């Protein structure tokens, strides 16, 4: 299962970049000098053990945790510490792992919440684009989001992020707790979203499945990136296989 898109060449202009970031929660640093980059049109997967700081990196990229030093850039613009609402306006959308739908609102209302800043006539067209990607959501548009399955709720959360036509989509473990069927369905849709030109950073516990749809991958441990390589190389690396992919490929 190789991505249809070619791997962007090394050194290509970056869409998003993290440079030597230290930061975390309160007085506690969780990120210890993290470097990360995503080229335009790239799908990057971050794997690593629990507590390695993967989610914290995504939050740092969207202004949700304190950055003590280092920089975050969107193209050439420095956005370090920018409030989350402004990061969203610049086209960076983040889907957290949990608590990512409004359970008492319908699917359609959830999607509309994603585009509450849109004041033009494009709302229906935006919803239709999400429904084209997630047909199940169209069928269930009038259902309460809280009554959907975990996989369907994840579709609502991703769909809501897509309502703003993001340039960068940050996904925190979108397949956590899902059945193998829903896991492959969600990852296949993530690849389709990337195929439309959206830069995607995917944190994934299903490390092998995540790397299989990615162009490039990072292995995180203890608050920093230990390895960075084309996804195919990580998938065939015996050390990575043994430690992070549940055995050799
Ligand atoms: N809101 C918070 N306040 C304080 N510490 C936190 C907070 N969120 C996470 N941490 C701590 O930061 C460290 C990194 O957590 P993080 O969630 O980024 O790891 P992760 O690699 O995403 O792990 P997982 O795969 O378990 O989600 C952990 O030690 C965690 O306990």
CA of 141 to the centre of ligand 1 (A): 34
Lowest mean pLDDT among 5-14, 112-121, 176-185, 213-222: 5-14
| pLDDT band, residue 53 (cuts 50/70/90) | very high
pLDDT at 244: 86
Residues 183-224 have pLDDT tens digits of: 999 999 999 999 999 999 999 999 999 999 999 999 999 999
What span, in angstroms and rounded, lies between the C-alpha atoms of 16 and 19?
A: 10
Q: Is this structure's pTM higher than 0.80?
A: yes
CA of 53 to the centre of ligand 1 (A): 6
The CA-CA-CA angle for residues 50, 151, 168, to 5°, reads 65
Give the torsion sign (CA, 200, 207, 49, 153).
Answer: positive
Its ipTM equals 0.96
SS3 167: coil
Best of 26, 28, 30 for a ligand 1 pocket test (most atoms within 8 Å of beta carbon): 30
Whose CA is closest to 48, among 169, 175, 183, 173? Answer: 173
Examine the pLDDT at 12 and tell me if it is beyond 70: no
Topology of 16-244 in CATH? Rossmann fold (3.40.50)
CA of 116 to the centre of ligand 1 (A): 30
Backbone angles phi and psi of 23, in degrees to 5: 170, 180
Domain range annotation of the chain: 16-244
The residues near 210 (Cβ < 8 Å, ≥ 6 apart) are: 45, 47, 187, 202, 204, 217
pLDDT at 116: 74
Whose CA is closest to 191, among 165, 163, 169, 166? Answer: 169
């Amino acid at each position: 299962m190789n991505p249809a898109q070619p791997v962007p060449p090394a050194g290509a202009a970056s869409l998003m970049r993290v440079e030597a970031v230290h930061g975390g929660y309160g007085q506690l640093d969780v990120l210890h000098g993290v470097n990360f980059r995503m080229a335009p049109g790239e799908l990057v997967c971050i794997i690593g053990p629990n507590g390695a700081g993967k989610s914290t990196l995504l939050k740092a990229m969207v202004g949700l945790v304190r950055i003590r030093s280092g920089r975050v850039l969107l193209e050439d613009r420095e956005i370090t510490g920018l409030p989350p609402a402004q990061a969203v306006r610049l086209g960076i959308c983040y889907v957290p792992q949990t608590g990512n739908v409004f359970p008492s609102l319908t699917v359609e209302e959830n999607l509309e919440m994603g585009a509450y800043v849109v004041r033009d006539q494009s709302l229906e067209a935006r919803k239709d684009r999400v429904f084209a990607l997630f047909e199940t959501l169209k069928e269930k548009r009038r259902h309460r989001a809280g009554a959907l399955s975990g996989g369907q709720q994840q579709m609502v959360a991703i769909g809501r992020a897509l309502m703003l036509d993001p340039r960068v989509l940050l996904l925190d473990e979108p397949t956590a707790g899902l059945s193998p069927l829903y896991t492959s369905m969600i990852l296949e849709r993530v690849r389709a979203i990337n195929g439309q030109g959206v830069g995607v950073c995917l944190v994934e516990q299903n490390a092998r499945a995540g790397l299989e749809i990615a162009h490039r991958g990072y292995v995180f441990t203890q608050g920093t990136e230990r390895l960075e390589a084309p996804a195919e190389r990580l998938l065939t690396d015996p050390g990575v296989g043994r430690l992070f992919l549940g055995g050799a490929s």
